[in-house]
Structure 1
Amino acid sequence: MTARNESQDLDLSRRQNSIANMLRDELRDFRRNAALPLCTALGEQTFILQNKLPHS
């Protein structure tokens, strides 16, 4: 393998790592942003149901 090929492989590896990191960050943000409203809605429903139950 020539030095030029090694350099190209290194550049490709860096680009792949950069894309992988970007996708990982996007997925993390998506999960965070999607989960928060769902948890909030579930929490509100639980609170409403608890307040409607007869207290012992």
Structure 2
Amino acid sequence: MMKTLYIVQSFTAQKKGKTTELIADTPIQCGSAEEAKNRAERFADKRAGEVPSGILERD
């Protein structure tokens, strides 16, 4: 049986001299696609970027 994991990965911008790097924050597992989408939308104003995704996992 396959189970879907819903993950939100956000990123923080970190200045290094004249450049800016994206640093991955701790991924957050969500209970549904809707929850992942909502969390990603909330991060949009606070983080440099975010990616909600679904991952299939075998039981």
Shorter-chain TM-score bucket reads under 0.3
Greater helix percent: which structure? 1
Going by fraction, where is strand more abundant, 1 or 2?
2
TM-score scaled to structure 2, two decimals? 0.26
* Rg comparison, structure with higher value: 1
